[in-house]
Amino acid sequence: MATTKKTTARRPARSRTTTPRQTGTSNPSLATRTGKAIAKRPVASAAIATGLVSGVAAAVAGFFAFKKSGKSLSEFSGDIATSVKEAAAETSERVKDGLADAGTKAKDTVSKLRDGLDGDKSQSEIAEEALTLKETGKKTKIPADPVIEGQTTGSVVH
């Protein structure tokens, strides 16, 4: 049996032009996309712009400091690295001291609260408050133990 070749219809060759194609809104330009992003998220865009400006300013300041120092790049970067390490060590030490102080204060406050002491009042303020309460006859709002109440009023509780 004889085989036959299957022929397919060929498309005509596309003519190539040097003029750009009109794409519409399916492929917006970078400027259009950036404008839309800024309109959608103005705060984020402002933060990014501020970060970029700060980075450029830091780079310019670093460049001028390097030129003014008269040192080689390795000497200048070594000095910068040393000062950054010292500042980090100092900050770390301050944080550790602050945490230790906060822990000590918290333990003192908790122990005073457990003991029933008011750390904000001095002895004289406490005594004055007790005398005022005794003179006016007012009782404290804190419920007392019957034994302690009996001792303060003079009656004996058995």
pLDDT, tens digit, 9 for 90 and up, residues 96-128: 999 999 999 998 888 877 766 655 777 788 888
According to DSSP, residue 19 is labeled S
Range picked from 13-17, 26-30, 50-54, 62-66 for highest mean pLDDT: 50-54
Phi, psi of 7, rounded to the nearest 5 degrees: -105, 140
Alpha carbons 54 and 43: distance in angstroms, whole number: 16
Span between the terminal Cα atoms of the chain, in Å: 126
- Kindly report the average pLDDT of the chain as a whole number: 79
The confidence score (pLDDT) of residue 91 equals 95
Closest Cα to residue 142, out of 128, 130, 125, 155?
A: 130
Element (H, E) at 104: helix 73-115
Alpha carbons 65 and 38: distance in angstroms, whole number: 35
Tell me the CA distances in angstroms from 74 to 68, 77, 98, 130, one per residue in order: 15, 5, 36, 72
More confident of the two residues 143 and 108: 108
Least confident of 10-19, 73-82, 83-92: 10-19
Judged against a pLDDT cut of 60, whether residue 75 lies above it is answered with yes
Q: Which two tokens stand for residue 71?
A: 């040192």
More confident of the two residues 100 and 134: 100
Mean pLDDT for the stretch of residues 40-60:
94
Judged against a pLDDT cut of 80, whether residue 71 lies above it is answered with yes
